[in-house]
Amino acid sequence: MDVDQTLLQNLTETNPRFRMLYEEHNLFEKQLSEYDKKGLLSPEEELEKNKVKKMKLVGKDEMEKILLTVTA
């Protein structure tokens, strides 16, 4: 998601929903990075990793919808 940093900062300061989604997105990114560092994952870890990926994608889609309404 290539977004103007000024717009991103403005949204995180003025839109509580966007701020929450943005913070979750960053948290999910960190979690996925940790899974990637591990290498071989147990079946449970693999399921959790896939769950995190899906939640990250859902949040990203919602952030993009908010951005579209702001920039339209």
Q: What is the pLDDT of residue 39?
A: 85
31: confidence class by pLDDT, cuts 50, 70, 90 = very high
Which token pair is 71?
A: 């920039």
DSSP 54-66: HHHHHHHHHHHHH
pTM of the complete model:
0.86
Q: What is the pLDDT of residue 54?
A: 98
Indicate if the pLDDT at residue 63 is higher than 70: yes
Indicate if the pLDDT at residue 1 is higher than 70: no
Segments making up each domain of the chain, as ranges: 5-71
pLDDT tens profile 35-50: 999 989 999 999 999 9
Averaged pLDDT of the chain: 94
Measured CA to CA, the distance from residue 65 to residue 42 in angstroms comes to 35
